[in-house]
Amino acid sequence: MSLIFSNDLVVAFLFGLCIFFISYLWLDKIMAYFYRKSTGSKEEILELMEKMYINIEPKKVKITLYLISYGLGAVVFLLFFPNIIPGLLLGSIVTLVGLTAPRMYMRSLWEKRCDRIVDQMVDGLTIMANGVKSNLTVQQCFDRVITNMSGPLVQEFRMIKEEMALGRPLSEALVHFGERVPRQDVNMFVTSINILEETGGKLSETFETIMQTIRERQKLEKKIQALTAQGRVQAIILSLVPFGLLAMFAVMDPNFVKPLFTRPLGWFALFLMLTLQILGGLAMKKVVTIKV
């Protein structure tokens, strides 16, 4: 076994053979993955921007996405030239990160916006409950919230008012609000108003019940975040330790880590390390992520 791995040509042949069989067996899935990460990522980014009321030309998003992914990947490959294999390996990694990072960033912004809307609903529902007690209609309560508050909740309520001004019924405008902000508390708010508009009932008591539910859910989420904080920090540290050690050895003794970038066995070791790091990071993230 030591004789096999000591021969660069044999290791390169075995590594290439593994890549060939993996590509042959999972070619359709690999092509679908790259399509989803390129074109699908662009469509998801545009959809998230539309939900956050960010107006930008789709062509600009496409060009920026390709420059961040394929452009940076090509630059990394050229930096390693004429070492083709490590250039391809690291260039592919940079390309995948470039395809994934913008979508993850936009989704993170959208998730934060949805969370802020849910947080603002406590104050918004308080205003609406007081308005209902004053014999105001739901539409007039929306106006009071728009006048007295600011932030993403006001944007959504203003959109509801604009849809109603175009002739759409309140129930349909509220359903669209629930589609733009897919949170349990928002869906509960939408469903409650639509049901009470048809059957009748006390909206003020319903709003107070929703406020109490949101408060209890927020308390539970904060408690879970406090209990899992240590696990999240440990996951980040464990994920960064191998890269930190590699950088430290590269500075202290470059010849010690040079075979990782110049020998086929080193390329295989880097590929295996990155694969295990990704799998381990996903596993640790799943362990510390608890949804309420």
Print pLDDT tens along the chain (292 aa).
Answer: 444 545 556 666 666 666 666 666 666 666 666 666 555 677 888 888 888 888 888 888 888 888 888 888 888 888 877 767 667 777 877 887 888 888 888 888 998 999 899 888 888 888 888 888 888 888 888 888 888 888 898 999 999 888 888 888 888 888 889 888 888 888 888 888 888 777 776 777 888 888 888 888 878 878 887 877 777 888 888 888 888 888 888 888 888 888 777 777 777 777 788 888 888 877 877 777 766 6
- In our burial notation (b when 16+ CB lie closer than 10 A, e otherwise), range 120-139 reads bbeebbebbbebbeeeeebe
Closest by alpha carbon to 175, among 163, 191, 151?
A: 191
- Calculated CA dihedral for residues 174, 178, 181, 184, nearest 10 degrees: 130
pTM of the model: 0.70
Tell which CATH architecture fits domain 119-213.
Up-down Bundle (1.20)
Tell me the C-alpha to C-alpha distance, in Å, between residue 28 and each of 22, 25, 42, 66, 278: 11, 8, 20, 22, 22
* Residues 6 or more apart whose Cβ sits within 8 Å of residue 73: 91, 92, 94, 95, 98
Q: Where are the domains of the chain?
A: 119-213
C-beta of residue 69 within 8 angstroms of C-beta of residue 95: yes
Residue 247 has a pLDDT of 83
User: What is the three-class DSSP state of 181?
Assistant: coil
Phi, psi torsion values for 160, nearest 5 degrees: -60, -45
Residue 7 has a pLDDT of 56
Angstrom distance (rounded) from CA 128 to CA 110: 25
Angstrom distance (rounded) from CA 175 to CA 139: 15
C-beta of residue 250 within 8 angstroms of C-beta of residue 260: no
CA angle (118 as vertex; 117, 124 as ends), nearest 5: 75
DSSP state of 81: T
C-beta of residue 12 within 8 angstroms of C-beta of residue 85: yes
* Residues 6 or more apart whose Cβ sits within 8 Å of residue 58: 42, 46
Residue 64 has a pLDDT of 84
C-beta of residue 193 within 8 angstroms of C-beta of residue 160: no
Q: Which amino acid is at 76?
A: V
Angstrom distance (rounded) from CA 99 to CA 97: 5
